[in-house]
């Protein structure tokens, strides 16, 4: 293998950015928001897209293909699946952080732009890119694109793939290409090219067209999905769109250098219908009745989350920047309800939005009336302050666990599962029975309207016995999800933690098409290897990389 010193020497005269191999730099990039640790040999911080092209070209022309040098792109490092971790070269794109243009309809940005900075500028003209995740204040748009991120607005607005209009990407030949939707005539012209680009279009069109029916059947029958390569979305017999492939590809096919997002006009007003569910049996019918009134968001959190919030009430006070007694006063109706009937199994939050207060309130009240027969307590929060207390518990559930675990830590491994909401009365009891069998403290929160749940247990990963449970339990949870026709991930993508289970989820034939796609775009496997395909089946290696120091 070429040493770091030799690699830096070969790049020194042509790479304008920073090349870092000091302990602080590589340690900083050894972790993300997952539980895993992979220490890179080098951190490359490009100054511009030309630097990325230089680095890719250098690795692409390695004389020794067994050198195993590769490039893993990293943005803000907030991923929960280990997608930005590697033992080779980290490409830190956070210096590529220019917002190039914003109009009423689009925003053109580099991958290192923080979403919060983009949102600040788009809201200034009353526009938004709506697929933001809960980590919107700390994540970067490059990570959002490469994981196909989504969040509380996804119910109406969909995932990030819906808003990527155009991409610029450096491919394995070291050149930068632009991808956007093509008509059949435009596709035919691309396929005539006698170049690497032309070969890509020819090879992928043949793969997609030949296997069209199989791929359409392989599409997970869930509201959102960020596992595998979305091959079923690229070609619909009329339009050919490679952006659908690159969104959610985790940098395994090329390096994103520029993103053009579509923007939408946000709804300025909202009302929140809160539903306290004590019995899961009528959940599908209840959810469908609420969805009929078209809430913009439909979120949930479980009794464990609520109990944690009460137990660590000062954290909620701090997060909301209010006084303890003032917030306790606001929660008096909920405390009274709990005293009368106990903590509900689920608390549902249906947010209705629009431009007219009376119209929004009417929809919330109509939904409330439609579910009255279930006998659950409900309330409509008509003020921002009242709604905020529920949203804060929902959004802070992960932080509550992370900050109050003592010797234990949050373990996001099977944290992003998706099933059909109609199957939840069967699915959730079996899931909780499985989790409770391990006697773990955990919370379940998520997007009830999408059937997308985040399950976060607390574990002491310094103990070998508890480390051994992690992947054992993951296998059981994923098997249960597959039994119900669901997906391992609606938002967080595969990374190192879900890649080993992709073959099981999709079957050999579709997984083989994933492998072919990787080989077409990246024949030398220089882009983020071990994610999506190839080398991800070694669970023992993954077990060995669980971070024990925190």
pLDDT (0 to 100) of residue 105: 98
State which fold the 270-401 domain adopts.
Alpha-Beta Plaits (3.30.70)
**What architecture does CATH give domain 4-94?**
2-Layer Sandwich (3.30)
DSSP 8-class letter at 266: P
pLDDT (0 to 100) of residue 328: 55
Domain segments of the chain as ranges: 4-94, 99-262, 270-401
Q: What are 88's two structure tokens?
A: 């080779």
Integer Cα distance of 136 and 26 in angstroms: 25
The CATH class that applies to domain 99-262 reads alpha beta
Which residue has 């439609």 as its token pair? Answer: 370
Integer Cα distance of 337 and 276 in angstroms: 10
Integer Cα distance of 514 and 126 in angstroms: 40
At 345, is the secondary structure helix, strand, or coil? coil
pLDDT (0 to 100) of residue 264: 98
Strand order in the sheet with 71-74: 18-20, 42-45, 89-92, 71-74
Q: What are 416's two structure tokens?
A: 């992003």
Which residue has 């109706």 as its token pair? Answer: 333
Cβ–Cβ < 8 Å for 413, 470: yes
pLDDT tens, N- to C-terminus, the chain (550 residues): 566 778 788 888 899 999 999 999 999 999 999 999 999 999 999 999 999 999 999 998 876 655 679 999 999 999 999 999 999 999 999 999 999 999 999 999 999 999 999 999 999 999 999 999 988 989 999 999 999 999 999 999 999 999 999 999 999 999 999 999 999 999 999 999 999 999 999 999 999 999 999 999 999 999 999 999 999 999 999 999 999 999 999 999 999 999 999 999 999 999 999 999 998 889 889 999 999 999 999 999 888 877 877 776 566 555 555 655 555 546 656 656 665 767 888 999 999 999 999 999 999 999 999 999 999 999 999 788 788 878 777 766 666 666 666 678 889 999 999 999 888 889 988 998 999 999 988 888 889 999 999 998 989 999 999 999 999 999 999 999 999 999 999 999 999 999 999 999 999 999 999 999 999 999 999 999 999 998 777 898 899 999 976 5
Integer Cα distance of 35 and 410 in angstroms: 8
Alpha carbon of residue 349 to chain centroid: 21
At 66, is the secondary structure helix, strand, or coil? helix
458 φ, ψ (degrees, to nearest 5): -105, 130
């Amino acid at each position: 293998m070429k040493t770091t010193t030799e690699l830096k020497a070969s790049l020194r005269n042509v790479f304008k950015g920073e090349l870092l191999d000091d302990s602080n730099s590589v340690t900083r990039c050894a972790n993300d928001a997952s539980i895993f640790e992979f220490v890179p040999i080098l951190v490359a911080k490009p100054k511009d897209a030309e630097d990325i092209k230089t680095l890719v070209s250098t690795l692409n022309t390695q004389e020794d293909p067994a050198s195993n040098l590769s490039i893993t792109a990293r943005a803000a490092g907030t991923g929960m699946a280990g997608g930005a971790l590697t033992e080779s070269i980290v490409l830190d794109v956070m210096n590529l952080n220019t917002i190039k243009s914003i109009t009423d309809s689009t925003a053109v940005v580099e991958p290192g732009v923080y979403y919060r900075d983009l949102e600040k500028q788009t809201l200034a003209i009353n526009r938004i890119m709506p697929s933001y995740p809960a980590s919107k204040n700390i994540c970067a748009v490059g990570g959002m694109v490469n994981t196909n991120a989504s969040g509380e607005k996804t119910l109406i607005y969909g995932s990030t793939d819906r808003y990527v209009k155009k991409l610029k990407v450096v491919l394995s030949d070291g050149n930068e290409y632009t991808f956007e939707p093509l008509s059949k005539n435009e596709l035919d012209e691309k396929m005539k090219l006698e170049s690497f680009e032309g070969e890509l279009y020819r090879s992928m069109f043949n793969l997609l067209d030949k296997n069209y029916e199989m791929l359409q059947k392989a599409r997970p029958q869930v509201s959102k999905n960020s596992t595998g390569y979305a091959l079923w979305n690229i070609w619909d017999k009329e339009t050919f769109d490679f952006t659908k492939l690159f969104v959610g590809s985790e940098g395994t096919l090329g390096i994103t250098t520029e993103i053009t997002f579509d923007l939408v006009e946000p709804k300025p007003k909202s009302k929140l219908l809160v539903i306290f569910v004590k019995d899961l049996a009528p959940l599908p019918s209840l959810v469908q009745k609420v969805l009929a009134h078209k809430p913009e968001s439909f979120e949930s959190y479980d009794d464990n989350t609520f109990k944690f919030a009460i137990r660590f009430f000062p954290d909620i006070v701090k997060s909301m920047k209010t006084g303890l007694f003032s917030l306790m006063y606001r929660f008096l109706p909920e405390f009274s309800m709990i005293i009368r009937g106990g903590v509900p199994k689920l608390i549902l939050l249906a947010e209705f939005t629009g431009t007219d207060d009376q119209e929004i309130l009417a929809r919330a009240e109509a939904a409330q009336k439609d579910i009255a027969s279930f006998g659950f307590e409900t309330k409509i929060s008509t003020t921002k302050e009242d709604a905020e207390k529920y949203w804060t518990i929902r959004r802070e559930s992960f932080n509550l666990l992370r900050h109050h675990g003592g010797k234990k830590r949050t373990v996001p491994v099977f944290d992003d599962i998706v099933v059909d909401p109609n199957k939840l009365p069967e699915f959730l009891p079996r899931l909780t029975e499985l989790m409770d069998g391990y006697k773990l403290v955990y919370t379940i929160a998520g997007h009830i309207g999408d059937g997308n749940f985040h399950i976060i247990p607390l574990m002491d990963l310094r103990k070998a016995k508890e480390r051994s449970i992690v992947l054992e339990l993951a296998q059981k949870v994923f098997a249960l999800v597959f039994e119900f026709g669901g997906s391992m991930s609606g938002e967080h993508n595969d990374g190192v933690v879900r890649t080993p289970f992709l073959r099981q989820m999709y079957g050999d034939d579709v997984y083989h098409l994933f492998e072919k796609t990787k080989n077409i775009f990246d024949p030398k496997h220089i882009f983020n290897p071990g994610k999506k395909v190839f080398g991800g089946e070694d669970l023992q290696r993954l077990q060995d990389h669980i971070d024990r120091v925190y």
